[in-house]
Structure 1
């Protein structure tokens, strides 16, 4: 429950910040009457996300066992890629997202016709990105969850993010967004490592991956995954009571590389990207 809550809280606050920036800029520039177009873009993005999520869930239910394992592995892989790219993108774009949105709004109004469709499209793509990220993450989490707490946690995360986002927009809530996105970013990378290890397990059960299947340690007698604590650790960090060598390698390698890249100072990343003379 905690994992989907925190992820949806973060995703929801990101979406709320985007909408808040757009709404504030429209109001500041005397374009407040265009807010209905913003809401149309938001509703279309939500509808697309729900449609994609429901469609994928319905399609997967018709698969035979091995095909379903393969599908779940693909969903997990996509979720890891999306979550990781979202974390790094947000860290990089946090400082410039406001100016970029302002520029996009000005571009939408730069033409004498088609302003409403342009504004709707801009908001739609900005919010749909957050929605589709959430869809793949939630599918991966729901597939690994053994109880019904995950959907409830996701719903609570969305509701709290709406309240926090509105409070930020109105000025009643002050949140250190830089610190918030930093710590939730680290948490997401840990979650993604667990999903990636689970993805390897699904590939094995689908008959696609059969290497490195030696069980490294058997903790089923000490902390079984079916126990309350084991279920909690499994949902949060992808814990398994009998992890294989491949799962441990994937987990440790991904976590080490991603956290190293995440914690690198911005100056080091910029310097590394510049060619030497």
Structure 2
């Protein structure tokens, strides 16, 4: 439940920040009459995300068992790539995001069909977050059982909407830099777990059959079905009887991704110098 909550909280807050920056700029420049176009772009992006998720779910349901395992592995790998792209993009773009969005708004409103240009701009900004979320949730839902994961995702979206509204109204001061940095680190742990689970799916699909000896057996100490095991599984990718290959790819990815993410940006080094 925690992993989908965390991911959807971050994704939802990113989308809320993008739209609130656009809406605030329109209001400040006396162009609030274009707000309906912003809402149209948001609703179209949400509809596309739901359609894409439903289509992938329906298609995968028709696959035979081995093909379903392969599909789960592919979705897991794609989710890991998109997760890392997301956290690295936000780290790099956070400081100039507001200026770039305001410049894009001016560019859209200078077009002949300003309303449609603004709709398209908002649509692509929000749809990117929505489609990213589709792959994350598919990967997590495939490795989870019950209603805890969907409930966590729903709560993450709900909290992000409330936070985004409060930030837009100016009633909430949130250290967004610290928030995105901390959630970025946690999401890297989630991505490592998804990668390990994707390798497990490849083995179940009969494609990866190497390094399958058990690394350890914690089923009697901390079983996966226990409350703590379930929490650690969703957030950290814990498994009570993982294979050696799963453990190896988990820690190799984790250390490499953290080293890349925590490395200072070149601009920051120059500024300090």
Unaligned runs of 5+ in 2: none
Q: What is the rounded CA distance, in whole Å, between the counterparts of 1:222 and 1:147 in structure 2?
A: 23
- State the distance in 2 between where 1:227 and 1:27 align: 51
CA positional deviation for 1:234: 1.2
The answer to whether residue 53 in structure 2 is matched with residue 53 in structure 1 is yes
Distance apart, 1:228 and its partner CA: 2.1
2:40 matched to which residue of 1? Answer: 40
Shift of 1:265: 1.3
Q: Which residue of 1 aligns with 2:67?
A: 67
SS at match of 1:96: helix
User: For 1:24-35, what aligned pairs fall within 5 Å after superposition?
Assistant: 24-35=24-35
Report the 3-state secondary structure (helix = DSSP H, G, I; strand = E; otherwise coil) of the residue aligned with 2:206: coil
* Aligned 1:182-197 pairs, distance under 5 A: 182-197=181-196
Verify the 8 A CA contact 1:38 1:119 in the aligned structure 2.
yes
Cα pair 1:76 1:195 within 8 Å, conserved: yes
Structure 1 match to 2:20: 20
Q: CA RMSD in A?
A: 1.3
Give the drift of 1:227: 2.0
Deviation at 1:38, TM superposition (A): 0.6
8 Å contact kept, 1:79–1:133: yes
1:83 aligns with 2:80: no
Give the equivalent residue in structure 2 for 1:274: none
Runs (5+) with no aligned partner, structure 1: 272-277
Q: Secondary structure at the match of 1:150?
A: helix
Partner of 2:10: 10
Q: CA deviation at 1:270?
A: 7.3
**In 2, are the aligned partners of 1:216 and 1:242 still within 8 Å (CA)?**
yes
After superposition, residues 52-201 of structure 1 pair within 5 angstroms as 52-111=52-111, 113-201=112-200
Deviations 1:136-172 (A, max 9, x none): 1011111111221111111111111111000000000
**CA 240–101 in structure 1, closer or farther in 2 if over 3 Å, else same:** same
Is 227-236 or 183-192 further displaced after alignment?
227-236
Determine if contact 1:146/1:231 at 8 Å carries over to the other structure: no
Aligned length: 270
Displacement, 1:230?
1.6
Rate the CA distance shift 1:269–1:207 in 2: closer, same or farther, 3 A: farther
